[in-house]
Amino acid sequence: MKSHERLLLENRAWAEETRQRDPGYFERLAADQRPKILWIGCSDSRVPADIIVNAEPGEIFAHRNIANQVVATDFNCLSVVQYAVQVLKVEHVIVCGHYNCGGVKASLDRQRPELSLLNKWLMHLKDIYRMHRDEVDRLESMTERTNRLVELNVIEQVRRLSHMSIIQTAWKNEQSPMLHGWVYALDDGILQQLVTLPAGSDVDVIYQEAESAI
Ligand code: CO
């Protein structure tokens, strides 16, 4: 059986089992979503948000891209954040990276000419490496350097969220959401917390909105 056919078959079995266990399940879920969590994670197939935290459908609103980046000109990510914060009013935004991330590892190497688009996406990671080059280069192995940059990347992405007017306005008006940076270890399945920014945390003045227009 082809891999996509297996998915369709598994879907039928899952829907049937779920309906048998809880006959009203899909009707309830179809009516509304009230997730308290926005998850910004890596596209890596080994880090499926819902599964690693044992969450049910309806609990986590998610955006995933290569190396879990929050880029200020990425309308895809920004739209997800705006909808999650302003409409769904999530209480927590979690940026979750993972050790041995292929995107982070690639950013420590030269650009690959055949991956012209991906090279540009990885530029943001190269910038973070450049900002912390002394610290990262002190580490001996490629694995250690990659994994430290994975952590620095998560911390930087949480900070970038706090630079967004969407977040600053929500912090002022709703005292929410709380921002979190987590990292996942592929070899034992454990999440660690790296950074937490509660509503109202300090934001560098150059990223703050001016009080009023002149
Ligand atoms: Co990754």
- From 63, 98, 159, 160, the catalytic residue: 98
The CATH number of 35-199 is 3.40.1050.10
Question: Could you read off the pLDDT of 54-75 as tens digits, one per residue?
Answer: 999 999 999 999 999 999 999 9
User: Residues 39, 59: contact at Cβ < 8 Å?
Assistant: no
CA of residue 101 to ligand 1 center, whole Å: 4
Is the pLDDT at 214 greater than 70? The verdict is no
Does 213 have pLDDT greater than 80? no
Q: Which pTM does this prediction carry? A: 0.94
Catalytic site residue from 63, 101, 160, 180: 101
Q: Three-state DSSP class for 60?
A: strand
Residue-averaged pLDDT of the chain: 96
Proportion of the chain above pLDDT 90, given as a percent:
96
What is the 188 CA–ligand 1 centroid distance (Å)? Answer: 16
Nearest-angstrom CA–CA distance, 195 and 93 = 12
Q: Look at residue 210 in the predicted model and tell me its pLDDT.
A: 84
44 is known as an active-site residue: yes
Q: Is 96 a catalytic residue?
A: no
Q: Is 204 a catalytic residue?
A: no
Pairwise CA distance, residues 165 & 57, whole Å: 29
Q: What are phi and psi of 210, to 5 degrees?
A: -65, 150
**What are the extents of the domains in the chain?**
1-31, 35-199
